[in-house]
Amino acid sequence: MKMYYDKDVDVKALANKTVAVIGYGSQGMGQSQNMSDSGLKVIVGLREGGASWQKAKDDGMNVKTIEDAAKEADVIHILLPDEIQADVYEKSIAPYVKPGNTISFSHGYNIHFKYIKVPEDVNITMIAPKGPGSMVRRTYLEGFGIPGLVAIEQDATGDALDVALAMGKACGLSKAGILETTFREETETDLFGEQAILCGGVTELINAGFTTLVEAGYQPEIAYFETCHELKLIVDLIYEKGFAGMWNDVSNTAEFGGLSRRDRIINDDAKKEMKKILSEIQKGKFTKEWALESTAKMPMLNRMRELESEEKIEKVGSKLRKACGLEKKAKEKEEKVVVVNFDKTKKK
C-alpha cells in the first residue's frame, strides 16, 4: 500500500499550468472550487447556455466552452457522467489535445473499457475523491479533506504522478491521504461496490427488512426507524472505528444477534451472486448493457426510478424525515456550503 500525504506532494508540478475541469456537477463543482481556492489556475468547461453555465459563473469560476477550455488547458480533468464522456471527448476535446497535455479523470470507466482513446504523447491520470463532491467541498472548507485515489495509466511526460498528486493536494485529499491504485482496480471495484453493496445491495436489504416488518403487522414508521434511519448511526460507527469498534458500542444483545445470524442473510447464495456481478463487470458485460441503455435514452433506468419512487418505504421515509426535521437540516447544510462558496469567490 502506498499512501501520499501533504508532506509528500509538491504542487510545483502544476506551476504555470492551467487546469480545465470539464463538467460542473457534484464533483466538478467541489473539485474546481477547491483547486481554485488552493491557487491553481482553473477553467470550468461547459456547454454554453447549459444548466450549469450560469451557476458556475455565479460561483465566481472562470467559465468557457468545452472547446475553448480544452484549447487553453495543460490539464483536462473530465468530470462528466460516464455515459457521455466519450462523445464529448471525441467531438469537443480530442481536436485540441496537444503533446504533453494531461487527460485526467476521477473514475477510470472510459479509459479502462477503451471508450476514450488518448494519444501516446499525452498523460492519462486519475485523482478520485472517495466521497461525493459536496463532501469534497465541505471538508476542504473545514480545513481537512476526504481520502482519495491516484492512478497513472500513461506517463508521457515523466511527471504524470506529480501532476495528479498536485491536483489531489489542491482538492484537499492529501490531508486525509491519497492511495495509489490502477485504472483497472479503481474501475472494477467501484462498479462492484456500487452494485453489490453501497447502492444496490444496501437499498434492497433495507427495503426487504422494512417490508418484512410491515407485512408482519408492525407500524411502517417503526419499521423505517429500525431498518433505515438507524443504519446511518451504525455505518458512522464502522466508518470511524471499524467492525470491532461498532460491536463494542452496541449492546451485547445486538452484538450476539448480529454475529450469530448475519450469515443467514448474506449466505453462500448471496456470495455467489456477488462473484457473478464482479465477473460481469470484469468481462465488460455490464458496460455493454449500460452503453445500450444510455444510447436508448435510458428506458429501463427511468422505469426503475419510477417504481422506486412508488415504494412504500419512500413515502414513509419522506414523511418521517419531514416530521423529524431531517430534510430541513440537510437543506440547511447544503445552503451553508453554497453561501460559503459564494462569499469566498467574491473575495478573490
Kindly state whether residue 343 falls inside one of the protein's structural domains.
Answer: no
Residue that terminates a domain, selected from 117, 151, 181: 181
Q: Say whether 112 is catalytic.
A: no
Residues 193-222 have a mean pLDDT of: 97
Shared-domain flag, residues 240 and 142: no
Shared-domain flag, residues 60 and 87: yes
Kindly state whether residue 45 falls inside one of the protein's structural domains.
Answer: yes
More confident residue, 336 or 40: 40
Residue 62 has pLDDT above 80, yes or no: yes
Kindly state whether residue 79 falls inside one of the protein's structural domains.
Answer: yes
Residue 197 has pLDDT above 50, yes or no: yes
Residue 78 has pLDDT above 80, yes or no: yes
Residue 261 has pLDDT above 90, yes or no: yes
Shared-domain flag, residues 230 and 148: no
Shared-domain flag, residues 161 and 203: no
Q: Which of 77, 107, 112, 229 is catalytic?
A: 107
Shared-domain flag, residues 17 and 159: yes
Angstrom distance (rounded) from CA 40 to CA 109: 26
Given a contact cutoff of 8 angstroms between Cβ atoms, the answer to whether 164 and 35 are in contact is no
- Give the residues across from 129 on adjacent strands: 148
Please list, in sequence order, all residues whose beta carbon lies within 8 angstroms of the beta carbon of residue 126, skipping any fewer than 6 positions away: 104, 105, 106, 107, 108, 149, 150, 151, 152, 153, 164, 183, 186
pLDDT at 325: 85
Residue 337: pLDDT band with limits 50, 70, 90: low
Kindly state whether residue 346 falls inside one of the protein's structural domains.
Answer: no
pLDDT at 294: 94
Shared-domain flag, residues 217 and 284: yes
Shared-domain flag, residues 57 and 113: yes
Shared-domain flag, residues 130 and 200: no
Kindly state whether residue 344 falls inside one of the protein's structural domains.
Answer: no
Residue 339 has pLDDT above 80, yes or no: no
CATH number for the domain that contains residue 81: 3.40.50.720
Kindly state whether residue 347 falls inside one of the protein's structural domains.
Answer: no
* 12, three cell numbers: 510545483
Q: Do strands 102-105 and 75-78 pair parallel, antiparallel, or not at all (unpaired)?
A: parallel
Shared-domain flag, residues 323 and 217: yes
Residue ranges of the annotated binding site for Mg(2+) are 190, 194, 226, 230
Shared-domain flag, residues 18 and 140: yes
Residues 22-48 have a mean pLDDT of: 97
DSSP H or E stretch at residue 27: helix 26-37
How confident is the model over 82-115, as pLDDT tens digits?
A: 999 999 999 999 999 999 999 999 999 999 999 9
Residue 346 has pLDDT above 50, yes or no: no
Residue 338 has pLDDT above 60, yes or no: no
Residue ranges of the annotated binding site for substrate are 251
Residue ranges of the annotated binding site are 24-27, 47, 52, 133, 190, 194, 226, 230, 251
- Give the residues across from 80 on adjacent strands: none
Shared-domain flag, residues 27 and 155: yes
Q: Which segments of 130-205 are extended strands (E)?
A: 148-154, 178-180
How confident is the model over 2-16, as pLDDT tens digits?
A: 999 999 999 899 999
Kindly state whether residue 348 falls inside one of the protein's structural domains.
Answer: no
Residue that terminates a domain, selected from 143, 162, 181: 181
**Domain limits for position 270:** 192-338
pLDDT at 49: 86
Residue that terminates a domain, selected from 131, 156, 181: 181
Q: What is 229-269 written as a DSSP string?
A: ITHHHHHHHHHHHHHHHHHHHS-HHHHHHHHHHHHHHS-HH
pLDDT at 334: 61
How confident is the model over 135-154, as pLDDT tens digits?
A: 999 999 999 999 999 999 99
Residue ranges of the annotated binding site for NADP(+) are 24-27, 47, 52, 133
User: What's the first-to-final CA gap in the chain, in angstroms?
Assistant: 39
Q: Which segments of the chain are extended strands (E)?
A: 3-4, 18-22, 41-46, 63-65, 75-78, 102-105, 123-129, 148-154, 178-180
pLDDT at 335: 58
Please list, in sequence order, all residues whose beta carbon lies within 8 angstroms of the beta carbon of residue 223, skipping any fewer than 6 positions away: 209, 210, 213, 214, 316
Residue 326: pLDDT band with limits 50, 70, 90: confident
Shared-domain flag, residues 298 and 267: yes
Number of domains in the chain: 2
Handedness of CA 140, 143, 149, 155 (dihedral sign): positive
Q: What is the mean pLDDT of the chain?
A: 93
Whole-prediction pTM: 0.88
Kindly state whether residue 187 falls inside one of the protein's structural domains.
Answer: no
